[in-house]
C-alpha cells in the first residue's frame, strides 16, 4: 500500500509539526515512515515515540516490529511520556527532592490522607502540583463519587489544611524517589527550563507525541520546552477525541503551541456511513472524513431501540453480524452499561473461576488459597456497600469488610453440607450490614461466584440464579477502547437523567460536552458495522442526528429480527 499525498507530505515535511489526524487515517503508519526517513543513514540518532498509555506504546512497537525493527532499539525509544521523562529528562540526577535515587514511578500514590476534619479519606491522587505548591483537584479521582460529594461540602480553610497535609505526605514520598505522573511532569518541566537538555536534541532526531489531545497544559509546556532545547517535535492529535478533560487535558491548547499544522483526513478504517454518522458527533461542523477503503460495502448504521438494557440487546446486535469471524465489541461510557448489554450485569469476569478459588480454600486449605478467597469475599462485600473500587471506603468500613470476609469464610468452612459457593452464600445470608447501612441491591448482584460444575455434582444444591446465558461478546469502556478498532461496534447509550443533555450537546455540537466526544470516539472504532443501542423514547432523535450528514441509518425495532441462535452457537 502506498502513502496518500497527504501522508507523503507529512513524511517529507521538515521542522516541528502539529498533525490533526482523523480516526483510521493511517496515522501510525505515516509516523513510522516519517521516523524511518528522519533516521535514514543516521544510525547514531533515534526517534522517540511517546504515547500516553502502555497499550498505545505497545501498538507502535508491534507496527515497528514489522516495518522498521531497528527503531525498537536505542538510540530510538518507544514508550510512555512518563517513562521518557524519567529516563531522559530526570536521568541520573533523579527527582529534585531525591537526587541520585532511582525514580520509582507509580500510577497512584496508593495512599489516602486520613483527615479527621474532612471526615473522609482523601486520596493523595486528588492533589496536583502547581508552581511549587500542591492543590486539591478532585477531578483527578473522578471515579470516587463518595469523595467528591464530601469534598464539595468542605470550606476553604479545611481545603487549605488538606493541601498542606497532602504536600507534606507527597514530599516525604518523593524524597524516597517515588513519584506519580503529575508530580513527575512538574519536576521534569523545571529541569528542562533550568538547563536545556542538549543531549536529548543530540540523540533524538524527532520526538513524536501521539494522542496529544490527551495532553494537559503541563505536558504541552514540556513539549514547548523540548522544542526550545532544539528537539524537533511532531505532535499528533485528533482534537475531536479529547475525552480526558476531567484530568485537565484540553485539545484546544494544542493550537497555542504555534506548530505548523498538517492534516490527515482520509479514513482507511470506516465505511462511508460510519464516517458520516461519526461526523454528526463532532464539535466542528465539517464534511465527513472521506472513506478511503475500496473494498468496503456500505452497510447502514443500525439503531437498536430498547425498553430495558439487558442481554437481549447483545443478542440483537449479534444477529446483525455477518459471521462468527467478525471482531465485535460492545462499548459504553461506563463499563456497567456495556456489561448489561451482554448479560454480565456485575461481578468478576469469570464467576466460575472465582468459585473454584473458594472451593480450593474450603476443601483443601493452603494459606495462599485462603488469602485469595478472602480477597474475593472482601471485594464482594465492598460491592455490597456500594463501593466501586478498592480503597474507597473509610477505615471503619474497611475493617468491617476485612473482619466479615474472614468470618464468612470461616462459617462456610465449618459447614459440612453443600457445595462451596452455596455454603458461602448461606453464610452471607446470615451476615448483617454494618450499623446504619444497608447492602446495595440483592445478594446475587454482589456475590457472583459460581460452583464449578462436574466432579462433585451430586452435592450440587439448587441451581444458582446467576447461571444464565452470557453472550460471547467483548465489552469495554470507550476510554479503554480508544486507539483500537473493531469490525463491528455496538455503542450503548444508557437511559439516564442526563440523556437529554447529551442529545442537546450532540445537536448543537457542544465543544465542552465530553459525553458527546466519548460517543464520537466510540463510533469511530467501527470498521464495517456500527450500531447504537438507544432508549426507545429517543430513538427517533438519534436517528435524525445520525442522518444529518448523509449516513444511511436503519432502525431495527425489537422483535423485528429474532436472535440467531445458530450464530451464537457457532461463535461459541
Contact footprint for another protein (CB under 8 A): 39, 41-45, 73-75, 87-88, 91-93, 98, 100-102, 104, 176-178, 191, 195, 197-204
| Nine cell digits for residue 292 | 478511503
The residues, any chain, with a CB within 8 Å of residue 482's CB and separated by 6 or more, are 211, 241, 243, 521
Quick one: 79 or 242, whose CB is closer to another protein? 79
Count of C-beta atoms within a 10 Å radius of residue 370:
18
**Interhelix angle for 395-414 vs 420-429, to 10°?**
130
The residues, any chain, with a CB within 8 Å of residue 198's CB and separated by 6 or more, are 229, 230
Quick one: 39 or 549, whose CB is closer to another protein? 39
Quick one: 36 or 334, whose CB is closer to another protein? 36
Note whether 242 and 220 are within 8 A (CB). no
Q: How far is the CB of 530 from another protein (least distance, A)?
A: 43
Q: How far is the CB of 165 from another protein (least distance, A)?
A: 19
Quick one: 101 or 499, whose CB is closer to another protein? 101
Count of C-beta atoms within a 10 Å radius of residue 472:
15
Quick one: 204 or 506, whose CB is closer to another protein? 204
| Nine cell digits for residue 178 | 517515588
How buried is residue 508: exposed, middle or buried, by Cβ count under 10 Å (0-12/13-18/19+)? exposed
Q: How far is the CB of 72 from another protein (least distance, A)?
A: 9
Q: How far is the CB of 38 from another protein (least distance, A)?
A: 10
Q: How far is the CB of 195 from another protein (least distance, A)?
A: 7
**β-bridge pairing 526-535 and 301-306:** parallel
Q: How far is the CB of 105 from another protein (least distance, A)?
A: 12
Where b means 16+ CB within 10 Å and e means fewer, 130-154 reads eeeebbbbbebbeebeebeebbeeb
Quick one: 39 or 351, whose CB is closer to another protein? 39
Q: How far is the CB of 99 from another protein (least distance, A)?
A: 9
Helix or strand run (H / E) with residue 530? strand 526-535
Quick one: 139 or 230, whose CB is closer to another protein? 230
Count of C-beta atoms within a 10 Å radius of residue 156:
7
Quick one: 195 or 435, whose CB is closer to another protein? 195
User: Alpha-carbon dihedral of residues 135, 139, 141, 146, nearest 10 degrees?
Assistant: 100
Q: How far is the CB of 125 from another protein (least distance, A)?
A: 19
Q: How far apart are CA 111 and CA 97, in angstroms?
A: 19
Quick one: 100 or 465, whose CB is closer to another protein? 100
> What is the torsional sign of CA 61, 63, 65, 69?
negative
Q: How far is the CB of 234 from another protein (least distance, A)?
A: 18
CA distances from 50 to 114, 214, 264, 305, 437 (A): 36, 12, 19, 41, 47
Q: How far is the CB of 169 from another protein (least distance, A)?
A: 13
Quick one: 39 or 380, whose CB is closer to another protein? 39
**Interhelix angle for 272-279 vs 514-523, to 10°?**
180
Amino acid at each position: 500500500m502506498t502513502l496518500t499525498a497527504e501522508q507523503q507530505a507529512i513524511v517529507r515535511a521538515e521542522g516541528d509539526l502539529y498533525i490533526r489526524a482523523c480516526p483510521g487515517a493511517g496515522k501510525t503508519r505515516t509516523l513510522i515512515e516519517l521516523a524511518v526517513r528522519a533516521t535514514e543513514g543516521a544510525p547514531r540518532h533515534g526517534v522517540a515515540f511517546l504515547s500516553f498509555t502502555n497499550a498505545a506504546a505497545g501498538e507502535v512497537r508491534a507496527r515497528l516490529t514489522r516495518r522498521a525493527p531497528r527503531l525498537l532499539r536505542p538510540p530510538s525509544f518507544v514508550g510512555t511520556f512518563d517513562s521518557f521523562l524519567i529516563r531522559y529528562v530526570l536521568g541520573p540526577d533523579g527527582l529534585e527532592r531525591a537526587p541520585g535515587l532511582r525514580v520509582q514511578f507509580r500510577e497512584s500514590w496508593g495512599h489516602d490522607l486520613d483527615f479527621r476534619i474532612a471526615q473522609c479519606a482523601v486520596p493523595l491522587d486528588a492533589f496536583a502540583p502547581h508552581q511549587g505548591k500542591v492543590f486539591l483537584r478532585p477531578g483527578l479521582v473522578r471515579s470516587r463519587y463518595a469523595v467528591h460529594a464530601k469534598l464539595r461540602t468542605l470550606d476553604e480553610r479545611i481545603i487549605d489544611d488538606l493541601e498542606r497535609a497532602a504536600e507534606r505526605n507527597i514530599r516525604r514520598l518523593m524524597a524516597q524517589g517515588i513519584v506519580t505522573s503529575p508530580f513527575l511532569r512538574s519536576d521534569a518541566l523545571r529541569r528542562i527550563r533550568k538547563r536545556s537538555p542538549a543531549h536529548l536534541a543530540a540523540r533524538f532526531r524527532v520526538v513524536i507525541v501521539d494522542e496529544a489531545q490527551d495532553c494537559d497544559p503541563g505536558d504541552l509546556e514540556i513539549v514547548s520546552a523540548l522544542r526550545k532545547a532544539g528537539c524537533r517535535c511532531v505532535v499528533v492529535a485528533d482534537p475531536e477525541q479529547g475525552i480526558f478533560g476531567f484530568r485537565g487535558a484540553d485539545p484546544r491548547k494544542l493550537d497555542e503551541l504555534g506548530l505548523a499544522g498538517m492534516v490527515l483526513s482520509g479514513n482507511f478504517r470506516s465505511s462511508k456511513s460510519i464516517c458520516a454518522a461519526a461526523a454528526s458527533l463532532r464539535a466542528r461542523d465539517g464534511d465527513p472524513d472521506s472513506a478511503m477503503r475500496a473494498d468496503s460495502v456500505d452497510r447502514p448504521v443500525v439503531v437498536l431501540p430498547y425498553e430495558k438494557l439487558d442481554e437481549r440487546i447483545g443478542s440483537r446486535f449479534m444477529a446483525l453480524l455477518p459471521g462468527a469471524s467478525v471482531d465485535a465489541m460492545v462499548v459504553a461510557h461506563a463499563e456497567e452499561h456495556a456489561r448489561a448489554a451482554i448479560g454480565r450485569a456485575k461481578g468478576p469476569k469469570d464467576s466460575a473461576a472465582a468459585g473454584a478459588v473458594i472451593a480450593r480454600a474450603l476443601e483443601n486449605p493452603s494459606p495462599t488459597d485462603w488469602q485469595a478467597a478472602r480477597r474475593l469475599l472482601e471485594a464482594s462485600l465492598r460491592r455490597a456497600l456500594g463501593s466501586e473500587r478498592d480503597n474507597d471506603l473509610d477505615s471503619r468500613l474497611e475493617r468491617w469488610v476485612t473482619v466479615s470476609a474472614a468470618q464468612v469464610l470461616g462459617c462456610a468452612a465449618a459447614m459440612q453440607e453443600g457445595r462451596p459457593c452455596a455454603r458461602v452464600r448461606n453464610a452471607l445470608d446470615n451476615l448483617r450490614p454494618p450499623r446504619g447501612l444497608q447492602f446495595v441491591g440483592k445478594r446475587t448482584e454482589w456475590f457472583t461466584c459460581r460452583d464449578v460444575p462436574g466432579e462433585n455434582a451430586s452435592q450440587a444444591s439448587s441451581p444458582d440464579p446467576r447461571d444464565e446465558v452470557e453472550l460471547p461478546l467483548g465489552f469495554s469502556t470507550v476510554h479503554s477502547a480508544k486507539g483500537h478498532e473493531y469490525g463491528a461496534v455496538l455503542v450503548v447509550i444508557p437511559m439516564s437523567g442526563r440523556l437529554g443533555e447529551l442529545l442537546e450537546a450532540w445537536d448543537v455540537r457542544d465543544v465542552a460536552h465530553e459525553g458527546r466526544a466519548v460517543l464520537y470516539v466510540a463510533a469511530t472504532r467501527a470498521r464495517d458495522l456500527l450500531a447504537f443501542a438507544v432508549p426507545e423514547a429517543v430513538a427517533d432523535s438519534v436517528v435524525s442526528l445520525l442522518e444529518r450528514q448523509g449516513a444511511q441509518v436503519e432502525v431495527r425495532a425489537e422483535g423485528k429480527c429474532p436472535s440467531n441462535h445458530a450464530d451464537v452457537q457457532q461463535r461459541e
